[in-house]
């Protein structure tokens, strides 16, 4: 394998995916929601261009060697690339899954459209149950439920921006290839990734106490504004205010690095 160095958009990609991954842990049952989801505009992005040309233009570091892998059988190369960096033990376990590139692309696509990626990430389901507590006759989310996601959040935020960017830049052609399989005309994976990031960074902070309403088989937010968020955004809320802020800060940091890199 070649030496992997800094590139462009990866931080956004993998982190977003990671967040999507965290999205599996729902306590509300968003899978049953069927509201219309608004996809963020891509007017702030570069206009629609040929995917390969766009990818080549984004890679301004001549020391980077992008990999255009065949999707079938690409898992081994992806594992080798990621494992070349010191990564948390949890991520090493995630890498044992199959169809890594296709799964990542599908997860980002779901998030960008406000949909739940839960069905794609069953291996990330937390072992502990969601907890609610009653206070003075009202039902609230038990903050202890947030702890279920600590290993995931810690793993994702502990990886340096440099590593995320390197992974993304190296795999960019392969990610675009997988995205083209989904059949969306006039949009690239890079654009879909930015849409996913926008969905997550727009999520408001949770209050210290989160009131709930009991449903038939699950719970809903008593706050209509929180309940109106789309399933992907609710996933981020369920990490808890502190962990959600850590993920959002990571995404913003990576987005800033992209903008700075683009001006070099």
Q: Tell me, what's the pLDDT at 41?
A: 57
Q: Give the β-pairing of 212-214 and 219-221.
A: antiparallel
Tens of pLDDT, residues 4-16: 334 334 444 444 4
**In this model, does residue 102 exceed pLDDT 90?**
yes
Alpha-carbon gap, residue 246 to 89, rounded angstroms: 20
More confident residue, 9 or 78: 78
Q: Tell me, what's the pLDDT at 218?
A: 85
Alpha-carbon gap, residue 30 to 7, rounded angstroms: 36
Are 105 and 168 in contact, with CB atoms under 8 Å apart? no
Are 177 and 184 in contact, with CB atoms under 8 Å apart? no
pTM for the predicted model, two decimal places: 0.77
**In this model, does residue 59 exceed pLDDT 60?**
no
Q: What is the mean pLDDT of the chain?
A: 79
Q: Tell me, what's the pLDDT at 264?
A: 47
Are 116 and 34 in contact, with CB atoms under 8 Å apart? no
């Amino acid at each position: 394998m070649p030496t992997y160095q800094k590139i462009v958009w990866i931080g956004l990609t993998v982190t977003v995916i990671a967040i999507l991954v965290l999205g599996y842990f729902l306590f509300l049952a968003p899978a049953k929601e069927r509201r219309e989801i608004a996809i963020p505009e891509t007017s702030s992005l570069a206009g629609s261009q040929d995917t390969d040309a766009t990818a080549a233009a984004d890679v301004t570091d001549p020391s980077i060697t992008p990999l255009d892998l065949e999707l079938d059988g690409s898992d081994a190369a992806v594992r080798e690339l990621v494992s070349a960096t010191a990564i948390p033990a949890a991520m090493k376990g995630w890498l044992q899954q199959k169809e890594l590139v296709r799964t990542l692309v599908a997860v980002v696509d779901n998030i960008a459209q406000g949909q739940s990626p839960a069905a794609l990430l069953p291996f990330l389901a937390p072992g502990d149950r969601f907890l609610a507590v009653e206070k003075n006759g009202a039902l609230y989310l038990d903050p202890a439920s947030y702890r279920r996601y600590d290993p995931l959040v810690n793993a994702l935020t502990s990886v340096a921006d440099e590593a995320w960017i390197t992974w993304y830049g190296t795999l960019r052609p392969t990610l675009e290839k997988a995205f083209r399989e989904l059949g969306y005309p006039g949009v690239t994976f890079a654009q879909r990734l930015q849409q996913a990031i926008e969905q997550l960074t727009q999520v408001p902070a949770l209050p210290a106490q989160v009131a709930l309403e009991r449903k038939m088989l699950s719970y809903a937010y008593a706050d209509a504004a929180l309940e109106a968020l789309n399933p992907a955004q609710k996933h981020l809320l369920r990490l808890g205010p502190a962990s959600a802020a850590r993920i959002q800060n990571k995404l913003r940091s990576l987005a800033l690095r992209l903008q700075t890199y683009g001006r070099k």
